[in-house]
Amino acid sequence: MTIRAVGLAAVALCLVVGGAAAQVRTTVRAQAVYESYSFDPGFNFEKVSEFSVPVGVDLSIGRRLDVTLSAGYVSLEVTPKADYERVSGMLDTQLRFGIKLIPGHLTAIIAGAVPTGVKVDSAQASVLTPIASDVIGFAIPTLGMGGSLGGGLVGAVSAGRFAIGMGATYHYPFSYQPFQNSTTELVPGSELRGRLGIEGPLARTTYMRFAGVYAARSKDQFGGVTQSGVGNRLIGYGEVIQGIGRMQLTLYAFDVYRGSPSIEGPAVLPKGNLIAAGFRHAVPVTRTLSLAPRVEWRMSTAAVETTGPIGATPTFGSLQKAGSSFRIGMDVRQAFSPGVSLGVYGSGLFGDVRPEGGADVPINGWRAGILFTVTR
């Protein structure tokens, strides 16, 4: 059934592209990322490594339609190998249509996912715990999940020299079996999101962007049992871009507040909050080569579930530190012929993670990757 769905999506995409080939603008992105992090004693694992190859195709068809298709491969390994096995396989296939009802002002979104992603054995479920860490921020934080369908409207209106953006989307995930050796089904809750943002110039060389998102998620069910929490989230993001001659300095910060626990594949995310801030300084070296050093700080807090009578609705205490980190890196981008570029990037991370009820566990590691982009 999965192969058939992917095939139908590919055929439909080819028909659309074939019917408007002269009006199609295509961007192909191929990326390879390897990252590895070591943990001091305090967990039942010492090292987590992930290799991923996400790929994507963006199509702009005329003035009215944008199509994005993405998939990829991931391999995850946790040391010591005596306790965990390697998990590897495909990522879920994502397909997104953007229909410009009023170009530049109102767009209808239709999006879906085909569950082509790899599943783990129930005995390997704890392999996924470290990659869901907010403190580290893995390139691929989850493996295969069930299919989904969603859509909504996004738009923008002018307000003087600023633009105000608004949007409302609905995401309906299908039930699926998260473990390859179990028939127990997970029914993720559907989610409704509202977005509001503003952006525009503050001065001749200064640009700002601020946005807020509220996501309301219904309750998950696992094995026919309704899980506690509604998983509501509040997300705030802001950035200021300052031109300095031919250079560009970007300062940004974001806050993600999760009001209740939620299930993301086999991993359970508790009620918590993630705060991050950072900067990126783009420096052109030549007409085709640029460097961009960057730094990001993160701090994660989580609430501990309090014990109560059996069968009672769980309650949670105040948010407590779950960890913090600094990531320092460098991006290098080389443009070749028009529309063709190669990006190489790397970063190092150090910080700590605090297990529930335990002491801080130091972590350190690195990430390296390449990104090849072709636009025609």
Model confidence at 168, pLDDT cuts 50, 70, 90, reads very high
Is residue 211 in some structural domain?
yes
pLDDT of residue 359: 80
Please state, for a pLDDT cut of 90, what percent of the chain lies above it: 55
pLDDT of residue 149: 96
Residues 159-198 as b or e (16 or more Cβ within 10 Å = b): eeeebeeebebebebeebebbeeeeeebbbbebbbebebe
CA–CA dist 138, 327 (Å, integer): 12
pLDDT exceeds 90 at position 125: no
Residue 123 per-residue DSSP state: G
Is residue 13 in some structural domain?
no
Q: What is the CATH number of the domain that holds 310?
A: 2.40.160
Is residue 6 in some structural domain?
no
DSSP state string for 266-281? TEEEPSEEEEEEEEEE
Mean pLDDT (the chain, rounded): 85
**Chain mean position to CA 121:** 24
pLDDT (tens digit, 9 = 90+) per residue, 252-302?
A: 999 999 876 665 655 566 778 999 999 999 999 999 999 999 999 999 988
Residue 124 phi/psi, 5-degree rounding, is -100, 5
Q: Which of the residue ranges 17-26, 100-109, 196-205 would you say has the lowest mean pLDDT?
A: 17-26
CA–CA dist 113, 115 (Å, integer): 6
How many domains are contained in the chain?
1
- Domain range for 196 is 24-375
pLDDT exceeds 60 at position 14: no
pLDDT of residue 88: 86
Model confidence at 76, pLDDT cuts 50, 70, 90, reads confident
Is residue 172 in some structural domain?
yes
**Residue with the larger pLDDT of the pair 94 and 269:** 94
Model confidence at 317, pLDDT cuts 50, 70, 90, reads low
Average pLDDT of the segment spanning 2-7: 43
Average pLDDT of the segment spanning 321-328: 93
- pTM for this structure? 0.84
Residue 193 per-residue DSSP state: E
Is residue 175 in some structural domain?
yes
Is residue 18 in some structural domain?
no
CA-nearest of 196, 107, 127, 205 to 159 is 196
pLDDT of residue 10: 45
Is residue 102 in some structural domain?
yes
pLDDT of residue 20: 44
pLDDT (tens digit, 9 = 90+) per residue, 180-212?
A: 777 778 888 889 999 999 999 999 999 999 999
**Chain mean position to CA 107:** 22
Is residue 186 in some structural domain?
yes
The tally of CA atoms less than 13 A away on the side-chain side of residue 356 is: 13
CA–CA dist 146, 110 (Å, integer): 17
pLDDT of residue 232: 82
CA-nearest of 333, 301, 329, 330 to 317 is 301
CA–CA dist 135, 276 (Å, integer): 9
